Structure 1
């Protein structure tokens, strides 16, 4: 009976810990809280997240990446059809060959996992597979500690767009959304 009580208690604990909304599983909703503190909200786990409504439109994006495989911000709103300027800075200390970072903006509907896994074979192309180049809207070079890179691009159509770091294994936690209005 004593063991049955312990087993029941452990089961209830596991159920309580495992409960909740599974729709955010694998999202970057928590990444923003772990990343370098900023005044911006973290990424939306879904398109109906209230954080989207309060996010200001800004076509001048400054983003950092760190050794914990995190972007400083994971949600941005921009104006569709207008030029967007993005500056990415690697604030980490680890070498580029083990903790390099980039920013890759993908077209809507791109399978992020397939994109990232296929890209792992293409180190010399900053981990972007030639077969998936048509899925890329914008892409920075891979940068190491203390380095920065800047790109400009235009998102032609309104919508929700994913961005990731293509360095092998980073896409799981280094991802976010750009909403073009």
Structure 2
């Protein structure tokens, strides 16, 4: 073989080796995706009453839906995974009774700075709430909801309710 043919063959083999390394075995990927889906579905059936949710410096909860079993104690932990202090980017989590007007509640909360944005006049609308947290802090609360239903939760720090809210589904 002449030198040009050898170099061309080496380059071609090198290119084939590089491009084939990135190829995935779709059979293995598909079967593991099916197994993960089946595992997720079976895990969804087993509802834990130990709940963890995070709030960040971008005014977001990492979950918009939580699930728990009715009649059993619920342990909920709120973690503020950001770095900004609570005076500028405080987060709490307030679980409201079914039927509570979320917007009206949030409007009253804005004026309740002295009670960490938990309006005293609305205590009957609140099932449970965490304390107001700054970056790096967390709070764990325990409560029980006996009635199955969908309960709204939100952060009552001024302006946060627009982005920081979700539902607790009690089954």
Where on the TM-score scale, by shorter chain, does this alignment land: which range?
0.7 to 0.9
Q: Which residue of 1 aligns with 2:133?
A: 143
Equivalent residue for 2:147?
157
More helix by share: 2
Give the drift of 1:56.
5.0
**1:1-181, aligned counterparts within 5 Å?**
57-181=47-171
Deviation at 1:93, TM superposition (A): 1.3
Q: Which has the larger radius of gyration?
A: 2
Number of matched residues?
129
Taking structure 1 as the reference length, what is the TM-score of the superposition?
0.68
Unmatched 5+ stretches in structure 2: 1-40
**Secondary structure at the counterpart of residue 86 of structure 1:** strand
- TM-score normalized by structure 2? 0.72
Compute the displacement of 1:180 (Å). 0.6
**Runs of at least 4 residues off by over 2 Å:** none
Segments of structure 1 that go 5 or more residues without pairing to the other structure are 1-50
